Amino acid sequence: MTSNLAFTTYQSQLGLAGNLPIPTTMDKDGLLMIYDIVAASKVPNYKGERIRIPSGLNLEAWKEELADFHDVQLWDFLAFGWPMSYQLPWPPRSAENNHPSAVHYPTHIESYIKKEVEAGAIIGPFKTPPFSPWSSVSPMLTRQKKGSRQRRVIIDLSWPIGTSVNDPPVISRGGISP
């Protein structure tokens, strides 16, 4: 586990260590502490610190069901989080604005954010980016759901073009460049 005494104490209080039950949610400070510890280790959580990520999953049932599954790392990813596939030596660039469809439907965006925060699917808001320099702000957009007045909210991970989270690196004779 981690040698960080403050987090070890925090883990014990929240049931993240040993055989104690794992909470389904965690406050922003706890999640940011996990991020700081894992980022400092410079390896994905499932390979290094192995701090369980709170979720609503019954991990013991998943472990049992996946016992003979060919992808032996799947349970690790469920328990400790998926590693980020962004492997470039510089951070992705953030978008400066949302797409026009998000700007034109602010109540749908606000409702989406509120619902996701309450469900523990996203955390925030933050006054400054908490995962600097490796955080990236991707723009949002909306599309009307078929047969409904509701709108679907989409986070565009392919924007800005050329420097988004989803963009592959450009490899040339001079090396990798943004």
Provide the β-strand partners of residue 155.
140
Per residue in 97-139, pLDDT (tens digit) is: 999 999 999 999 999 999 998 887 888 778 877 777 767 788 9
Looking at the chain, which runs of residues are DSSP E strands? 140-144, 151-155, 170-172, 175-177
The string of pLDDT tens digits covering residues 7-61 is 444 444 444 444 444 455 677 888 888 888 888 888 889 999 999 888 878 999 9
pTM score over 0.95: no
Q: Is there a contact between 99 and 155 (Cβ–Cβ < 8 Å)?
A: no
Percent of the chain that is helix, strand, coil (3-state, to 5): 30, 10, 60
CA 29, CA 12: separation in Å to the nearest integer? 15
Where are the domains positioned within the chain?
5-80, 100-170
